[in-house]
Amino acid sequence: MRILVLNADYPRFLTWMYRREPALSEACYADQMAARNATLFGVADFYSCNFAKLGHAAAEIHVNNAYLQTAWAREHGLAIEGPAEIASGKAQRLPRWMQRAAVPFKPLLRPLARRVGLSPRLDPQSEHILLAQIEEFRPDLILNQDVFYIDTRLIRRIKAVCKPIVIGQVGIEPSAGEDWTTYDLMISQLPTTVEWFRRRSIRAEVSHLAFEPVVLERLPAVTDGPVDVSFVGTISDDHRQRITLLEAVARRYELKLWGTIPRTLPTSSPLHACFQGEVWGTDMYQVLRQSKITLNSHIDLAGREAGNMRLFEATGVGAFLLTDFKDNLHTLFEPDREVTVWHTIDDCLKTVERYLGDDARRTAVAHTGQAKTLQEHTFHHRTREILGFLDATRT
């Protein structure tokens, strides 16, 4: 089978990657793709490599990487304009007071934004290149990991090219304004999202995120000293619980924070003093490895369900993970044996105190958590699972 994986990268990551290697934007498609995958950011080529190990011809496309996609187009004789500069990912900024006032209404405004075209989507040239790539590759199966850049309208155009089976992967609340019936299967790490699709007679299955063991072979030795408590990830207006937790931890312990913080964060917040900047891919894994304790708090929209990428990235590299309790967490990891769990902020603070002073127990939890991830939560497991869903569809 021929399998094509579609994905989109954070604009901030793309800006970082091409600024780090200015000549990369002029390199050939293969060299740019190799450089992007070498960062180990996101899912890199983890899906396509594991599909290939199962005997399938597989490739990935990063649909919003203008430099990469333009290189492919030129090498295949497409008449196109030069690539636009990689977008910064920053929309026109409203005053801070307006941003803060809009926070409670974001869940209501998000579907409207998608409907009127304010969500990320490909420009006509990018769509043209993507359709040409699909025509050239002729996939039997497409795994679409960004259902916003590649919306259902574009999926219909793709299906008209070569009639592939299309699976959509979505980890946040779907938009009711889309015609999801164009997909053959939807997968999500959130059971409530799966049920949302099933109530609309759309086939859907639970499929969690994962860790790629190859990462362990590619990471250099850790040279920096240990970090007592870390958090690596996004902090935004969609992470109110996360902000409250991290502020409480920062007031009592030496917390170091890598990622992004919102402009709406009050200047009085202790998180400003904790902020270390952004890290991507390899650098992110290194921060996790050098942390005595790394924290996890799901996005508010996750509700009572666990499943974010940090669960698998942290345990996969052998970090000690202190994560928020969720009703389904026990289906992924055994609480207090493979990961530790906090129920309330006070509970989290006490757990940090306890494990900072117990190196042996902390190491034991980290080791068992890593073993669990390598045994059950790798991209090899997920690709086999996805193909199993496909087989069930055929029968």
- Higher-confidence residue of 177 and 385: namely 385
Q: What does the block give as tokens for 187?
A: 């997968």
CATH 3.40.50.2000: which residues of the chain? 214-376
Q: Is 50 exceeded by the pLDDT of residue 19?
A: yes
Q: Of the given ranges (22-36, 69-83, 197-211, 266-280), which has the lowest mean pLDDT?
A: 69-83
Q: In this predicted structure, what is the pLDDT of residue 86?
A: 52
**Among the listed ranges 88-102, 112-126, 306-320, which one has the minimum average pLDDT value?**
88-102
Binned at pLDDT 50, 70 and 90, residue 321 comes out as very high
Work out the pLDDT band at 282, boundaries 50, 70, 90. very high
Quickly state the pLDDT bin for 223 (edges 50, 70, 90): confident
pLDDT band at 166 (very low <50, low <70, confident <90, very high): very high
**What pLDDT was estimated at residue 99?**
44
Q: What is the mean pLDDT of residues 305-320?
A: 96
Whether the pLDDT of residue 57 is over 70: the answer is yes
Indicate whether 215 pLDDT > 50. Answer: yes
Q: Is the pLDDT of residue 95 over 70?
A: no
Which of the given ranges, 78-82, 98-102, 359-363, has the highest pLDDT on average?
A: 359-363
Q: How sure is the predictor about 142, in pLDDT bands with cuts at 50, 70 and 90? A: very high
Q: Per residue, what are the HEC states of 202-256?
A: CCEEECCCCECCHHHHHCCCCCCCCEEEEEEEECCCCCHHHHHHHHHHHHHCCEE
Mean pLDDT of 28-45: 97
pLDDT-derived band at 394 (thresholds 50, 70, 90) equals low
Whether the pLDDT of residue 115 is over 80: the answer is no
Check pLDDT > 70 for residue 377: yes
| Confidence tier at 393 by pLDDT (50, 70, 90) | low
> Tens of pLDDT along 238-255?
888 999 999 999 999 999
Residues 272/258, Cβ–Cβ less than 8 Å: no
DSSP code per residue over 8-75: ---HHHHHHHHHHSGGGGGS-HHHHHHHHHHTT-TTTTHHHHHHHHTT-EEEEEETT-HHHHHHHHHH
Residue 85 pLDDT class (50, 70, 90 cuts): low
Task: Return the pLDDT at 176.
Answer: 76
Q: What is the dihedral of CA 217, 222, 228, 230, to 10 degrees?
A: -50
Mean pLDDT of all residues in 354-375: 97
Q: Residue 103 has what pLDDT?
A: 43
Kindly report the average pLDDT of the chain as a whole number.
90
Residue 182: the pLDDT is 96
H or E segment at 259? strand 255-260
Residue percentage of the chain with pLDDT more than 90: 79
Query: In the predicted model, what is the mean pLDDT of residues 124-147?
Result: 96
Type of residue at 246: L
Mean pLDDT, residues 284-294 taken together: 97
Task: Name the CATH topology of 214-376.
Answer: Rossmann fold (3.40.50)
pLDDT of residue 111: 45
Element spanning 271, H or E: helix 271-274
CATH class of domain segment(s) 2-210+379-394: alpha beta
Return the sign of the alpha-carbon dihedral for residues 219, 224, 229, 230: negative
Span 149-157, average pLDDT:
95
Mean pLDDT of 110-124: 59
